[in-house]
Amino acid sequence: MTGHVHRDDFGSRLGMWLFLVTEMVLFGGLFIGYSYMRYRYPAEFHHGGGELNATLGIINTLVLLTSSLTVVLAIVAIQRAEKKRAMAFLGTTLALGLTFLVIKGFEWGAKFHHGIYPNSHHLATMPPGEQVFFGLYFTMTGLHGVHVIVGLGLLSVMLWWVATDRVRQDRYVHLENSGLYWHLVDVIWIFLLPLFYLAA
Amino acid sequence: MSTHASTAQPSYLVDTGARKGLMAWLTTTDHKRIGLLYLYSMITFFFVGVGIGFVMRLVQLTTFQKLISAQTYNALFTVHGVIMIFLFVVPGLPAIFGNFFLPILIGAKDVSFPRLNLASWYFFVAGAILAVLSLFTGGGAPDTGWTFYAPFSLKTGTNVSLAVFAAFVLGFSSMLTGINFITTIHRLRAPGMKWFRMPLMCWALYSTAWIQLLATPIVAITLVLVILERFFGIGIFDPSKGGDPLLYQHLFWIYSHPAVYIMILPAMGAISEILPTFAKRPIFGYKAIAFSSMSIAAVGSLVWAHHMFTSGMSATANMVFSLLTMIVAVPSAIKVFNWVSTLYKGSIDFQPPLLFTLTFIFLFCIGGLTGVMQGALALNVHIHDTYFIVGHFHYVMFGGTGMALFAALLYWFPKMWGKMYSKKAIYASWFPMFIGFNMLYFGMMILGMMGMPRRYYVHLPQFHTMHVVATVGSWLLILGLVMFFGTLLYAIFKGEKAEDNPWGGVTLEWTIPSPPPLENFEEIPTITHGPYHFEQQEAK
C-alpha cells in the first residue's frame, strides 16, 4: 500500500525533534533523581565527585564536541556535493565516537579495579550517599554510553548511504536527522560532566 | 467487498499490492488497516483481561474457601491491571480510531510516517507477547500489582523484570504513535483546514500525543531503573544502599497520572464528534472544548502525587497536590457542560452511538466526581487503597474510556467496514451491560466506604453481601459485552451494506465512500468552514 509518493523533509525533521524531546525527558527522569539525591546527600556527592578523574572527563568532552563539529561539516560537504569529503568527515566522527567509548571504558575499568561497581562489597562499606552517587554515575553514564553506541550505528549507516548515493546533495534529511541525534548525545554529556566530574 | 460506484479507487479492504491475504495485512502501511490491526489485537487482550476479572470476582464469592491460591490471586490482579491498562485503555482510542480517522478528518491520505506507524504496531505486539511470556517463565507471574512499587518489586522472586520490560516496549510504541500524530497534524492538514477548523477528535489526539511524548519517557526510565536494580543492585530505590523507594513512586506517577489523561482525552474527542451528529447542530463551545483538552494535558501533568497522600510526603506537598487535583476537574466539567448544552434544543436522532455516548457522560460524571472526593485530603486518608478507589477508576476507565470506545466503534463501524449492525441487538446488549456495570463498580465503592481494602484475597463476613452483588453484576456485564461484540462480529460478515453517510454527519469521513477507498480522497478537499456545519447541509 505504498501508493503515496510523498516527501516532506520539514516533517521528517519535526518528527526527529519530537523524538529528541522524548530522549531529553528520558534523561530528565534521571536528572530529577540526581537533584533529589544530591539535595539529600550534598557532602557525599561532593566527595564522590572527587574520586572521578576530571581530566579524562574533560578530554572526553572535547572529543565529543569535536565529533559534533565534524558531523556538521559532513552535512555541509553533502550540501556542496563533495561526497569524498563528507565521507571523510563522517569517518572522523565515528573515530572520535569510538575514542570517547574507549576512554570511558578505561574509566569504568579503573573504578571496577578499585572495587567500585554496583552491588560490590567495597561499595557497601561506603556511606549511603556515596553508594547512591556511584549508582547514579554508572546508570547515567551507562545510558549515555548506550546512546553513543546507537549514534555510532546510525552514523555508520549514513556513511554507507553516502557511499552508495542514497544520501546526496538533493536528499540528505536522514543525514541531518542522524546529526541531530548525535548532537543530543553531545548535549546530554555536557550536563553529565559538571554533575559528576566537577561536583567536587 | 464492493467498490463504490463514483470512485475509481478500490476500497482499502481489497488487496491491491503484490501480497495477498494475511501477508498483505501484516506488511501494510495504510493507516486504516493498521487501525484495524490494533483493533483486533486489542479486543483480544480486552477479553483476556475480562476473563481474569471474572475469575477474581468468582474468588470473592466465598469468604474463605477459595478456588485458587493467594499467590495466584496476586498474580491475577497484577496481570489484569497490566493487560487492561497497557494493552487496552492507554493505547485503545488513539491507536484504533486515531490511526483510522485522524488522516481522514484532516483531509490527508495517510499519516506522516506510515512505515513508522506499522513499526509501532509491531512494538505493540512485541510488548504484548513479552507481557504474556512473563506469566509463564522465570519465577512465575508478577505479583506486585500493575504499579510495580519498590521495594517489593525489587525483591520479589516473580518475573517482574520481563513484565516491566514489556511495559517499556509498549511505551515505545505509544511514543512513536504520538510523534507520528503531532507531525501529521502539523504537516498534512488539507488546504483551508485551519487549526480551529479541525474536528475536536483531532484536538484531543493532538493533546494526547503531547502527553505521550512528555510523560512516557519518564516511566520508561523508571522501569529501566527497576530492571537495573534487580540485575545489578544499583541502589537508587533501595533504602539499605541510601536510595529512596518514595522516589520510585514519584517517578512512576509523574507518568502514570498523565497516562490517565492519555486514556480519557481521546475518549472525550470521540464523544465531541458523535454528539453534534445526533443533535444535528454544531458543538456548543468548540474553542472551550479544544482549549480544555490542552489545559487538561497541562494541569494533569502536575497532580501526580495525589496517589501518594498516605506515603509520608510533607503536609505542604499534600495540600498543593490536593488543590491542583481539584483544579484539573474544571476543564473536564467544562466539557461535560458543553456536551449537555449541545443536546439542548438540538433535533435529536436517537441511535445506538448516542445511547453509548449518554452512558459515557453519566458514568464519567460518577467517576469524575468520586475522583474529586478522593482529591480531598481528609477523605482520602480513610478510603485510600480500599475498594472505593477500585470502583472509582473503573467508572473513569471502563465507564469513561471503555464506553466512549464502544460509542466510537458503533459510530464509525459502518464507515470502517461498510456494513451496518443490528441496532436492536445493540440496544439489547446495553441493558445487561449498564445494570451489571453499576452493580459491580458501585458495589465496589460501597464496599470501600465500609472499609474493604483492595487487593485482599479474603474478606470479612460483613462485606459478603456486597461482594455477592458485585460478582453477579460482573456476570451481567460480561453477558452484555459478549452480546455487543457478537453483534458487531456478525455484522462484519453478514451485515447489510451501509450507506456512505448513515448518520447524517458533516465531517470529512462522511463525504467519502464506505468503506473508504485506498487513498481516502479522490482529490484532497479544500476546507472553507468549521467542522460542524449543519446549516449549510440543510440549505442544500
ipTM of the complex: 0.91
Q: Does B175 touch chain A (CB under 8 A)?
A: yes
pTM of the model: 0.93
Q: Does B93 touch chain A (CB under 8 A)?
A: no
Q: Give the best residue of A4, A14, A18 to mutate against chain B (max B CB count within 10 A).
A: A18
DSSP B384: T
Residue B430 backbone phi and psi in degrees, to 5? -65, -40
Closest residue, chain A, to B110 (C-alpha): A4
| Chain A environment of B235 (Cβ under 8 Å) | 118-119, 131-132, 135
Q: Do B235 and A29 touch (CB under 8 A)?
A: no
Residues contacting residue B203 through CB under 8 Å, at least 6 positions apart: B269, B289, B290, B293, B294
Q: How far is A125 from chain B (nearest CA, A)?
A: 10
Going residue by residue through chain B (540 aa), what tens digit of pLDDT does each one get? 344 444 568 888 888 877 888 888 999 999 999 999 999 999 999 999 999 999 999 999 887 767 888 888 999 999 999 999 999 999 999 999 999 999 999 999 999 999 999 999 999 999 999 998 988 887 888 888 888 998 888 888 888 999 999 999 999 999 999 999 999 999 999 999 999 999 999 999 999 999 999 999 999 999 999 999 999 988 899 888 889 999 999 999 988 899 889 999 999 999 999 999 999 999 999 999 989 988 888 888 899 999 999 888 889 999 999 999 999 899 999 999 999 999 998 899 999 999 999 999 999 999 999 999 999 998 998 999 999 999 999 999 999 999 999 999 999 999 999 999 999 999 999 999 999 999 999 999 999 999 999 999 889 999 999 999 999 999 999 999 999 999 999 999 999 999 999 999 999 999 999 999 998 998 899 999 889 888 655 544
Give the pLDDT confidence score for residue A2 in this predicted structure: 41
Alpha-carbon span A18 to A13, nearest angstrom: 9
Residue B267: CB atoms within 10 A of its CB come to 28
Question: B residues 474-493 near A, CB within 8 Å?
Answer: none
Q: Does B216 touch chain A (CB under 8 A)?
A: yes
Give the pLDDT confidence score for residue B488 in this predicted structure: 96
Partner-chain residue, chosen from A2, A127, A132, that has the shortest CB–CB distance to B243: A132
The answer to whether the Cα torsion of A41, A42, A47, A48 is positive or negative is positive
Residues contacting residue B391 through CB under 8 Å, at least 6 positions apart: B370, B441, B442, B443, B444, B445, B447, B448
Give one word for B148, left, alpha or beta, with left for phi > 0 and alpha for psi -120 to 50. left
DSSP B97: I
Residues contacting residue B42 through CB under 8 Å, at least 6 positions apart: B87, B88, B91, B92, B95, B96
* Nearest one of B329, B491, B343 to B410, comparing CA atoms: B491
Distances (CA, A) of B214 to A22, A31, A122: 6, 15, 38
Q: Does A146 touch chain B (CB under 8 A)?
A: no
Residues contacting residue B378 through CB under 8 Å, at least 6 positions apart: none
Q: Do A136 and B236 touch (CB under 8 A)?
A: yes
Alpha-carbon span B158 to B141, nearest angstrom: 6
CB pairs under 8 A between A and B: 125
Q: Do A1 and B29 touch (CB under 8 A)?
A: yes
Distances (CA, A) of B479 to B54, B252, B422, B469: 11, 35, 17, 16
